[in-house]
Structure 1
C-alpha cells in the first residue's frame, strides 16, 4: 500500500491492526462512479490477503458495469456501534479483473489464495463453490485511511 494518512494519526490502525481488521470483517461497501459520474454504493463480501482486497461481484450488476467502464473505486470497511467503538478503513485505487468472468472454476493460480480465504470465511469450505454468476476484482489499494476510536481516551 502506498499513500499516507495525514489526519488522525493517533487513532489510525497499525499495519498489524489493519491486517487483522480487514481479514476479520465480513462486509465492505463499494463506491463506484456510474455514467455521468453518478455515484453508486453497494455492500459486498470480500477477502483480504494482506496485500489486496478481493471483491467477488455479480457480473450482471451495476457495480460490475461501473467498474468495467471506470475501474476507480473507494471501499469502506467499518465496525462498531457506540462512538467510542467505531473503527474502520477506507481503501481506494483501481480494480483489475482476475480470472474468467463469470467465474466457472477454470484453473487460475492467481486466484488460489483469494478463493481459499473466501471459501473458508463465508462458506466454511476449503474449496470455492462457483455459480457462474460472479467474478473477481482485485484492489491493491493506492491509499488507505484507518481509524480506531477505541484508542481515544475514555473510548
Structure 2
C-alpha cells in the first residue's frame, strides 16, 4: 500500500496527473545504498505501467550490485527550469528482479507490457531489442511524493 503524502497537498499531482507525467517522461534518477552505506545516484530510462516503474539496467553496474545486495531504492523523475514550472515525483520502496538476468529475450509474460511500453517510448519499436547486458527491475512504490509548482499560480 502506498503511503499518503502529507505535506504539499496543494501542489501534489492527482492520480491522473501522476500517471500522465510518468508515462510521458523518459529519464529517472535512481538512488541506491552502497556497500559502505553511502548513497549512489545514477540515471536510467524507465517505463511506467500505471502501477509500477520498470527499470532496465545494465547488470554490470554499481547500481545493479547495490540493489542486489540491498533492494531499497528511491527514484526521482522531474522536469522544469523556472521555479513555477517545477514538477516531479519521488517513488520509493523495494525493487524486485523480473525475468532472466541478463535479459536475452526468453518468454516471460510478466515482461510483455513493460517491454512493449519501453520499446515504443525509447526506441520507437514494437518489440524490445535484447543485448544480453541488461535486466529488469520492478518498483511498485510503497511511498509516492509528487509536486507541481505550476499549481502555485492558481492558489
* TM-score, structure 2 as length reference: 0.98
**What aligned pairs does 1:13-32 form with structure 2 within 5 A after superposition?**
13-32=13-32
Superimposed CA distance per residue, residues 115-151 of structure 1 (whole angstroms, 9 cap, x where no aligned partner): 0000000100000000000000000000000000000
Q: Is the 8 A contact 1:3 1:144 kept in 2?
A: yes
**What aligned pairs does 1:91-110 form with structure 2 within 5 A after superposition?**
91-110=91-110
Q: Is the 8 A contact 1:84 1:154 kept in 2?
A: no
**Structure 2: 5+ residue stretches without partners:** none
How many angstroms apart in 2 are the aligned matches of 1:106 and 1:153?
A: 50
Superposed CA RMSD: 1.0
How many angstroms apart in 1 are the aligned matches of 2:26 and 2:56?
A: 12
Task: Measure how far apart 1:154 and its partner are.
Answer: 6.6
Q: Is the 8 A contact 1:46 1:56 kept in 2?
A: yes
Corresponding pairs, count = 155
After TM superposition, which residue ranges in structure 1, 4 or more long, deviate above 2 angstroms?
A: none
Task: Measure how far apart 1:38 and its partner are.
Answer: 1.1
